[in-house]
Every structure is written in structure tokens, then in C-alpha cells.
Amino acid sequence: MGLVAWIVVGLIAGWVAGRVVPGAGDYGVLGSLVAGIVGAIVGGYLFALFTSKEDWLTGIDLPTILAAIVGAIVVSFVWQTLTARRA
């Protein structure tokens, strides 16, 4: 997937994760982008583990966006959990 596609999918996934996970919207634009991109990688890896399809990150399509959103929610939730323990 090209860099622009990663950014687009990352923005979409980060925005959705910021709305779903409580407190995740406080990351700002850059934090949402990072959470979305990392989430896309995590989501693609998790979906590849549990399905027969090996590559979930092939372009901007519905399965890729869904995998990225699930991954971004997981990443945001884990980040919120780790930072809440330190506070």
C-alpha cells in the first residue's frame, strides 16, 4: 500500500477509534494518525492470523478500513490502559 493510502486509512481508523474509545480523542490529529497507522498494521496482522486471507492491507477498500479500525481501537484501548496506570 502506498504512503498516501496508509495516511488515508490511518486517518479514517484513527478518527473512528477516537470516537469509540473513551479518552482517545485527546490525542489530537497527529496522535490519531499514528494510532490509525499502527492500528492498521496491528489490525492487518490480527485479521491475517484469524482468517485464511494473508494480506489485509492491500489498498483502500472496505476490508482494509475495517481491519485498520479494529486495530486502531485495540491500539487506542491499550494505550489508554497503559497511560491510566501511570497517572
Residue 67 pLDDT greater than 60, yes or no: yes
Among 20-24, 39-43, 59-63, which range has the highest average pLDDT? Answer: 39-43
Mean pLDDT (the chain, rounded): 77
pLDDT tier at 24, thresholds 50, 70, 90: low
User: Residue ranges per domain, the chain?
Assistant: 3-86
Contacts 24+ apart (CB under 8 A), 10-14: 10/34, 10/36, 10/37, 10/39, 10/40, 10/68, 10/72, 11/36, 12/36, 12/65, 12/68, 12/69, 13/39, 13/40, 13/43, 13/65, 13/68, 13/69, 13/71, 13/72, 14/39, 14/72
